[in-house]
A and B are shown apart, each in its own frame.
Chain A
């Protein structure tokens, strides 16, 4: 389809409209589970420079109210969370990172780089067990735990945010596959009754 002659292009000329990674794909309700997109706000990758780990953690504490998370852990504060995001990096979710942090760490804006969804419902672990080679037993993977792992063949970040609720992130371009895979897993587990 090409643009109709003389059609108004005013909307597009004014502003660039935003599209979220899972637009048109979510929410979903299957069995006892809800899958919905999490509007991320800003996402900033924070990677401490050599020898700055402690100073950075102190600065994070001062500015965002949360220290640098230990491996496989996350912190949550009001309107913000800070999750461990792999070797020597953490992801600040919510507010933009304070510029004061720049001398201490490489700050990379990845706000638009990730699709972020929340899977919630009793036995959400059983759904993820179809896709993720991770030990998610409640006594092992507790609230606040966060892991970099794979979901099917996608690099993923999985955080247990509440009892029976997981935050799942994959690269933005993979949003459709993420929803497809989660939907299939939810359907299969739900069908067992």
Chain B
């Protein structure tokens, strides 16, 4: 598996680490139920999913990767700092 880091180019999967779905973050002081839902209640869709990966063994950038979980096709990769700003 290869992911194309916007900074480094296509790199082997072993340089990356995976966090999970890239979901909108609740406010830091949001209600406990909101945070509970954010952290624990996750969909597991078969199909395109926006995910967070870090190019941990590479440039260190966090990436927002749109990946089809059924085929592993990578549909888009952006820097998380730009996507989440």
The one of B9, B15, B60, B61 that contacts A150, using a Cβ cutoff of 8 Å:
B15
The contact size tier of chain A is: 10 to 19
Which residues, 46 to 85 on B, are CB-close (under 8 Å) to A? 55, 57-61, 79
Complexed CA–CA distance, A153 and B16 (Å): 12
Q: Write out, one digit per residue, whether chain A residues 54-80 have a CB within 8 A of any chain B CB (1) or not (0).
A: 000000000000000001100000000
Does A148 sit within 8 A of B, measured CB to CB?
yes
Does A110 sit within 8 A of B, measured CB to CB?
no
Complexed CA–CA distance, A133 and B10 (Å): 11
The contact size tier of chain B is: 10 to 19
Q: Separation in Å of the A188 CB from the closest CB of chain B? A: 20
> Which residues of A have CB within 8 Å of B25?
none
Write the residues of chain B forming the contact surface with A, with a CB cutoff of 8 angstroms.
Answer: 7-9, 11-12, 14-15, 55, 57-61, 79
Instruction: Give 19 A-B contacts (CB < 8 Å), ordered by A residue.
Output: A71-B7, A72-B8, A72-B9, A86-B58, A86-B59, A86-B60, A86-B61, A87-B60, A87-B61, A133-B12, A133-B14, A148-B57, A148-B58, A148-B60, A149-B8, A149-B11, A149-B15, A150-B14, A155-B57
Write the residues of chain A forming the contact surface with B, with a CB cutoff of 8 angstroms.
Answer: 71-72, 86-87, 133-134, 147-150, 155
